[in-house]
Structure 1
Amino acid sequence: MENGQVYRATTEAHPGPGIGPRSGLAAYFTLSRLTGFRRLKLLELVLSLLAFICEEVVSQCTLCGGLYFFEFVSCSAFLLSLLILVVYCTPLYDRVDPAKVKSSDFFITLGTGLVFFVASLTFALTHDNTIAEIAAIVFGMLASLTYVAEFSFMLREKLKEPRPRKGEATMRREHLTEPLNA
């Protein structure tokens, strides 16, 4: 028997995503699109989660409005960061328009950073001085600074991109030789 016939039925030229060292969900998840400053997304995710967890540990509050606002914002920031991270790190990125993903990420990062900063400031002004509240405020401020830092990197990258120039209007010569009051 030839070697080709022996191995033909048992070997595959290109194994599928479920075969090999990266199998299951790990085969569909990659950090290759998170280059440069985009790795701040991981830090934003962790800091917003830590801020949310520290806030959830708080058992009593005197002025609860700041706490509830911080709770909503930190949870929302975590979920939005997770959503953007999933889009960047899965094959979903290939199915959507990358320009729209970057544009959405740009505005989500700006909005989340500003609102997180306001929520952290509000919570800092209304907290009861417990260790869990102070830790939540610190993580919230660090997260908001991370969002703002990433936004500034995105803005710098956006300003460096060459903008398409509008085509110059071609003037017709016949109008130039005609008198104005004809």
Structure 2
Amino acid sequence: MRTTEESEGFDGEASNTSMISGASSPYQPTTEPVHARNVLGGIRCDLDYLRSYFGILKVVEVVLSFISLICIETIKMCEPCEGIYFFEFVSCSAFVVTGVLLLIFSLNLHIKVPQVNWSITDLVNTASSTFFFFLSSLVLACINNKLGAEIASVIFGFLVTGVYGVNTFLAVRRWRRGNGCQGAAQASEYIRARTASRGEMEARPELA
């Protein structure tokens, strides 16, 4: 039978042991769940972007590209088929790429990857989509069998070309404005550095 001192000593040792084992236990709670919640909490639908010119144009581009793809997919027989295949590839590629960019911008995922110049990425996508949609629509208009699906594809192809063209114009203007602001900031920083250097020279005439 243990005495009171022995039981107190055992309890003290047990508590110390539990504290040590608890401190060294690999199952300690970490900040990872909190960090995960913060990451997931940063993903939200940016309604301001969807209401902006770029957001509205992106939505229209995705819808018109998808309609163009549906129209061209309904064609069962073709002769020749090169124009149809080309238009199908362009509409499918534009729908996928523009849809992904719309998802990235509307969920603010581009903020988490600052290494990518998203303005240039959007400009390249819109410019290339404008060119290839116009080219594929022109080819399909010249080489077709006057079927209803082909005519509808040509109409929607030229419509989405116009939307991509407007988006390209706005993207170029945004890119130029961004470069202008960056150049002005660099020039201001250079002037500030030269002014500080001259002030230091005047304060220390022995350096002249």
TM score, norm. by length of structure 2: 0.64
Listed as ranges, the matches of 1:37-56 within 5 Å are 37-38=53-54, 39-56=56-73
Structure 1, gaps ≥5 residues long: 1-15, 18-26, 171-182
What CA distance in whole angstroms lies between the structure 2 residues aligned with 1:109 and 1:91? 19
Listed as ranges, the matches of 1:33-72 within 5 Å are 33-38=49-54, 39-72=56-89
* Aligned residue among 64, 83, 91 for 1:74: 91
Secondary structure in structure 2 of the residue aligned to 1:132: helix
What CA distance in whole angstroms lies between the structure 1 residues aligned with 2:94 and 2:173? 23
Cα offset, 1:28, TM superposition: 3.5
Which position in structure 1 is the counterpart of 2:45?
Answer: 29
Listed as ranges, the matches of 1:96-175 within 5 Å are 96-97=113-114, 100-161=117-178, 162-164=181-183, 165=186, 167=190
Which position in structure 1 is the counterpart of 2:107?
Answer: 90
Q: What letter corresponds to residue 74 of structure 1 in structure 2?
A: S
What CA distance in whole angstroms lies between the structure 2 residues aligned with 1:145 and 1:86? 22
Q: What whole-Å deviation, never above 9, does each CA across 1:85-135 have from its counterpart, x for those lacking one?
A: 011011422211287112100111101111111111111111110111100
Q: What letter corresponds to residue 46 of structure 2 in structure 1?
A: T
Greater Cα offset, 86-95 or 59-68: 86-95
Q: How many pairs were matched up?
A: 146
Q: What letter corresponds to residue 77 of structure 2 in structure 1?
A: Q
Secondary structure in structure 1 of the residue aligned to 2:145: coil
What CA distance in whole angstroms lies between the structure 2 residues aligned with 1:157 and 1:89? 18
Secondary structure in structure 1 of the residue aligned to 2:58: helix
Greater Cα offset, 153-162 or 40-49: 153-162
Structure 2, gaps ≥5 residues long: 1-36, 195-208
Q: What whole-Å deviation, never above 9, does each CA across 1:122-179 have from its counterpart, x for those lacking one?
A: 1111111011110011111111111011100111222333242454797xxxxxxxxx
Secondary structure in structure 2 of the residue aligned to 1:32: helix
What CA distance in whole angstroms lies between the structure 1 residues aligned with 2:164 and 2:47? 19
Q: Is the 8 A contact 2:91 2:133 kept in 1?
A: yes
What CA distance in whole angstroms lies between the structure 1 residues aligned with 2:53 and 2:44? 22
Highest CA radius of gyration, 1 or 2?
Answer: 2
Q: Which runs of 4+ in 1 moved over 4 A?
A: none
